Chains A and B, each alone.
Chain A
Amino acid sequence: MRKVYHKITQISGSVITVEAEDIPYGTLAEVTSGEEQDTSLGQVIRLNGKEVSIQVFAGSRGVATNSKVRFLGRPMEVSTSENLMGRIFTGSGYPRDDGPAVQDDMVGIAGPSVNPSRRIIPNKMIRTGIPMIDVFNSLVESQKLPIFSVPGEPYNQVLARIAMQAEVDTILIGGIGLKYDDYLFFRNTLEQHGALSKAIMFVHTAADPTVEGLSVPDLALAVAESYAVNGKRVLVLLTDMTNYCDALKEVAITMEQIPSNRGYPGDLYTQLAQRYEKAVDFEGSGSITTLAVTTMPGDDVTHPVPDNTGYITEGQFYLRNGRIEPFGSLSRLKQQVNADTREDHRAIMDTMIRLYASCRESEEKQAMGFRMSPWDEKVLKYGKLFEQRMMDLRVNIPLEEALDLGWKTLAECFEKHETGIKTDLLNKFWPDNT
């Protein structure tokens, strides 16, 4: 029987302080208030002499100065067994479905980083059938990539669509502050596509205590890591990481940390990086690819959450007006794969975006009532076609078809030399309209 401590000296926000001795940093604790069934998990986040501060996942509501605290002597763990497949758990790792608790092959969450010298250069493209991704910002196995989105955009739909189309062995879904409807949406989508059996969900919903959401990425990533080491290609979906950051903020403020920017703690970058950097391609084994949702409060990309995220992830997809924006969207790994797809891939990618930028300029001029030059007319026509054929999220075609469509579009709008493409590529790919 583990020792029980009663002397709680401070209760503030989600953090309580109890007097105890010989407690290892980071260990889990069970906090029981009132009746036995009211037990919540917590984690030791500060030691000061005999004072032990515990972050209580369910928050401190109802905790009394004589509540019972029992230390488990180990950090948070999660099962990595095959039996997780098809199961749904809470942010504390308890079953959310009707299935039994899974206790085999437990590992500690938030384990050590991969040794950079053992990493390899990612080289496998993940095809999505979405031209804005495949052509312009190719997704690569082991990439970590967020969808930057204003609240209200169909980001979970995009996430689910990529997940259903991607060829992976296991899908891990981590929901942080997920709306119950969205949780059901993910579950139904997986079911419809017969993918539930290769999926594992850790879901913290908007109705659950905020702090409980903090464990979700670590739980999902610890499972992903174990699967990947054992040869599985794992796709991790995290939605919404802004909720995760807000939970961090809440804890930091309770701990009276000096905020660095709009209330967020100074280590926000490090906290996010430790999660996102779990994405990896293990040489001779499996991989972890992470797609996340980052909603941008006020559509402001300089807000600390998207800003810190963008500095960490390998690009981002901007979702705006139901489309993936060509500007601001970026896959930093695209050059690892787009040299080997087709020789015209890069030229089409660069040229079409550059010309679409010209289109936006001409649109501005037009909006100000200026006369449109012949060039303006050309790029405006081009812009329309670009939006229809490339940007519309309903378009679902393989990369090669999209590249051909790109050449067709250019040839319908421009003379060869107006594209700025190298002459040898023009000679090879420019469609003959004769």
Chain B
Amino acid sequence: MAEQTKVGKVIGLNGNMVTASFETSVMQNEVAYICVDGTRLKSEVIRVRGDEADIQVYEMTGGIRVGDKVEFSGEQLSVSLGPGLLTQVYNGLQNPLPQVAEEAGFFLQRGLYMEPLDREAEWDFTPWVEVDDEVQAGDAIGYVPEGIFKHKIMVPFDWRGRWRVTSIAEAGKYCIDNTMAKVSNGREEREVTMVQDWPIRKPISAYKRKHLPHDPLVTQQRIIDTFFPVAKGGTFCTPGPFGAGKTVMQHALSQHSEVDVVLVAACGERAGEVVEIIREFPELNDPRTGQSLMDRTIIICNTSSMPVAAREASVYTSVTISEYFRQMGLNVLMLADSTSRWAQALREVSGRLEEIPGEEAFPAYLESLIAAFYERAGLVELKSGEMGSVTIGGAVSPAGGNFEEPVTQATLKVVGAFLGLSRERANARRYPAIDPLGSWSKYTPLVEAEQVEKARDVLQRGNDIGQMMTVVGEEGTTIGDYVVYLKGEFLDSVYLQQNTFDEVDCATSQERQQYCFNKIVDVLDADLEFSDKEEARNYFGELRQKFVDWNYAAWDSEEFKKTEQEIDEVLQRKKSA
């Protein structure tokens, strides 16, 4: 091994970018290590020119000298995929942070790399294939139970052609590095273990074909599921200025979405926000499985003060792990907060490489990178005929809250749903602050599309009338128009708005959404007559109060039924009057 290691020397350094000379050959995206004062700093080759390689360092670079040794690994930057991923908290390079803390205490320590997967843990293996069975890349040869799943042990995704099983492990306890099966293609025999490494910048595509996303991904957020739905295997983005509620929404989605696995990619934002997940999820129950929410969650945590180059890698690490679980026929939701920080990391790298910049100094290839990233989402049919999906939701943090900037624009071109958060709504405490007039989705909602159209129409007209009123005043508005305005406000405050911090209101099931939305449409449809505006305003005030109470009552509880009766009475009173 040792004599095979290719080496080079540092000849320059600028921020986190080392320029190195090398002797034999290097490969683009090859992992290299800068050797400084007895530590080896993980890095990646990102450009080669002549006999010089530009290497981005995934660590703080203080103390590096010209002449320091560089080791080239010959491997691309990869993640380890196998049992033990779930519940973990990794940095952008799959370094497990709790294990790092055990070793180094409160602070991160550069050059300290721990095993991403527990190599000693034993897993209960059950074989699914027999000797002489034929298998190919991605086929499961057996499984181990992990949390609530059967974690499939699969033939490595890049093994070409068909393989014959020559031996298979008996049911029993094994570590991930044990040989679980041997397979042969007639020319060579290979061993299948429980773990495989995969280069993060390359999509995993050991499936039969991609399908158009069709089934809704139930997020239990009313404004999303009813008005701007997300589909399993689809993509969506949530741009918004700071403080508009992007992170709170991503947390709600990671908690309440009806999916099998959630990947939370905390990419370049606050560490404190990840901590909420790390500390709270283990205590929270997933009502779908009865187990802790953490059991279905993996956190990739490369927050704003952690090295920028690793931030750039973190979104790829996340999406690769997502794809891995998709290969098991699971529905995976990957949430990235925020893709803008990833884009900024690209910008920093590009700047250090002195590339010709595009708009706002972002690299010219930003758009194609964003497109390629979202392309890794999708609904796929596996070779076994099962379906699996990766849904990607990216927060976008536009500079100055202005959506006309490169990252937002490039993202809007490729996603299937746009949930734009507005400063005005956030300031007015209308949460979630998704702008109901400007947002859009190409996917199918949970409720009847026709009714949604009707509701949107009321919202739009109500808003127009509201605008008009600021010009002509209330007295210049007809009572008919005024009622439409009140209806729009009503829909907004009791359906679009949802209290994330209330135990009941935080999540509205599909069934409940369908049920309650009907009642809302009843109100919107009703032909209501008022003698004056004051009466109308009071009436809607009362109605709103009842619906708010209704939202806070548990589904199908006594309270729920009682409030519904009261609502019906209020409605009836006016209709019959």
User: Does B564 have its Cβ within 8 Å of any Cβ on chain A?
Assistant: no
Q: With A and B bound together, what is the CA distance between A371 and B347 in angstroms? A: 54
CB distance from B201 to the nearest CB of A (A): 22
The segment from A80-88, A263-271, A400-408 that touches chain B is A263-271
**By the criterion CB–CB under 8 Å, are A26 and B63 in contact?**
yes
User: Does A46 have its Cβ within 8 Å of any Cβ on chain B?
Assistant: yes
Given that A26-B63, A116-B97, A327-B427 are contacting pairs, would A258 and B549 also be in contact in the complex, using a CB cutoff of 8 Å? no
The segment from B99-107, B231-239, B442-450 that touches chain A is B99-107
Q: With A and B bound together, what is the CA distance between A48 and B14 in angstroms? A: 8
Residue among A23, A46, A273 making CB contact with B14, cutoff 8 Å: A46
Cβ of A49: which chain B residues have Cβ within 8 Å of it?
11-12, 66
**By the criterion CB–CB under 8 Å, are A118 and B399 in contact?**
no
User: Does A353 have its Cβ within 8 Å of any Cβ on chain B?
Assistant: yes
Cβ of B361: which chain A residues have Cβ within 8 Å of it?
258-261, 266
Q: With A and B bound together, what is the CA distance between A260 and B348 in angstroms? A: 10
> Contact string, B247-289, partner A, CB cutoff 8 A, digits 1/0?
0000000000000000000101111101110111000000000
User: Does A412 have its Cβ within 8 Å of any Cβ on chain B?
Assistant: no
Q: With A and B bound together, what is the CA distance between A110 and B542 in angstroms? A: 57
**By the criterion CB–CB under 8 Å, are A24 and B62 in contact?**
yes
Residue among B65, B67, B100, B549 making CB contact with A115, cutoff 8 Å: B100
**By the criterion CB–CB under 8 Å, are B107 and A22 in contact?**
no
> Contact string, B366-404, partner A, CB cutoff 8 A, digits 1/0?
000000000000000000000000000000010111100
CB distance from B522 to the nearest CB of A (A): 21
**By the criterion CB–CB under 8 Å, are B545 and A274 in contact?**
no
Residue among B101, B106, B400, B545 making CB contact with A423, cutoff 8 Å: B545
**By the criterion CB–CB under 8 Å, are B306 and A113 in contact?**
yes
Given that A24-B65, A49-B66, A354-B428 are contacting pairs, would A116 and B548 also be in contact in the complex, using a CB cutoff of 8 Å? no
Cβ of B266: which chain A residues have Cβ within 8 Å of it?
116
Q: With A and B bound together, what is the CA distance between A111 and B401 in angstroms? A: 32
User: Does A2 have its Cβ within 8 Å of any Cβ on chain B?
Assistant: no
Given that A22-B65, A304-B399 are contacting pairs, would A48 and B12 also be in contact in the complex, using a CB cutoff of 8 Å? yes
Q: With A and B bound together, what is the CA distance between A308 and B304 in angstroms? A: 12
User: Does A332 have its Cβ within 8 Å of any Cβ on chain B?
Assistant: yes
Interface size on A, residues (CB 8 A): 78
**By the criterion CB–CB under 8 Å, are A375 and B537 in contact?**
yes
User: Does B518 have its Cβ within 8 Å of any Cβ on chain A?
Assistant: no
Q: With A and B bound together, what is the CA distance between A266 and B363 in angstroms? A: 11
User: Does B24 have its Cβ within 8 Å of any Cβ on chain A?
Assistant: no
**By the criterion CB–CB under 8 Å, are B271 and A24 in contact?**
no
Query: Which chain B residue lies CB-closest to A370?
Result: B473
Cβ of B15: which chain A residues have Cβ within 8 Å of it?
267
Q: With A and B bound together, what is the CA distance between A315 and B10 in angstroms? A: 42
**Which residues of B in the span 97-119 have a Cβ within 8 Å of any Cβ on A?**
97-98, 100-101, 104-110
> Contact string, A13-52, partner B, CB cutoff 8 A, digits 1/0?
0000000011111110000000000000000001111100
**By the criterion CB–CB under 8 Å, are B473 and A365 in contact?**
yes
User: Does A312 have its Cβ within 8 Å of any Cβ on chain B?
Assistant: yes
Q: With A and B bound together, what is the CA distance between A45 and B204 in angstroms? A: 40
Query: Which chain B residue lies CB-closest to A50?
Result: B66
Q: With A and B bound together, what is the CA distance between A23 and B10 in angstroms? A: 12
Query: Which chain B residue lies CB-closest to A229?
Result: B106
> Contact string, B523-550, partner A, CB cutoff 8 A, digits 1/0?
0000000000110010001101100110
**By the criterion CB–CB under 8 Å, are A46 and B13 in contact?**
yes
**By the criterion CB–CB under 8 Å, are A332 and B243 in contact?**
yes
Q: Give 19 new A-B contacts, CB below 8 A, not counting A116-B303, A354-B429.
A: A22-B67, A23-B65, A47-B10, A47-B12, A113-B108, A113-B306, A118-B101, A118-B105, A258-B351, A258-B357, A261-B399, A266-B347, A270-B304, A270-B308, A304-B400, A310-B241, A316-B243, A350-B429, A368-B470
- B-side interface residues toward A, CB under 8 Å? 10-15, 19, 60-67, 89, 97-98, 100-101, 104-110, 241-243, 266, 268-272, 274-276, 278-280, 301, 303-306, 308, 341, 344, 347-348, 351, 357, 360-362, 397, 399-402, 427-429, 470-471, 473-475, 493, 501, 533-534, 537, 541-542, 544-545, 548-549, 552
6 tightest A-B CB contacts, nearest first: A302-B400, A370-B473, A273-B304, A277-B305, A26-B62, A310-B242
In the complex, 26 of the A-B residue pairs with CB atoms within 8 angstroms, ordered by the A residue number, are A24-B62, A27-B63, A46-B12, A47-B64, A48-B13, A111-B107, A112-B109, A114-B107, A117-B101, A118-B106, A119-B271, A120-B279, A121-B280, A258-B361, A260-B347, A260-B362, A261-B399, A270-B268, A274-B304, A302-B401, A303-B400, A304-B400, A307-B401, A327-B427, A339-B501, A370-B473
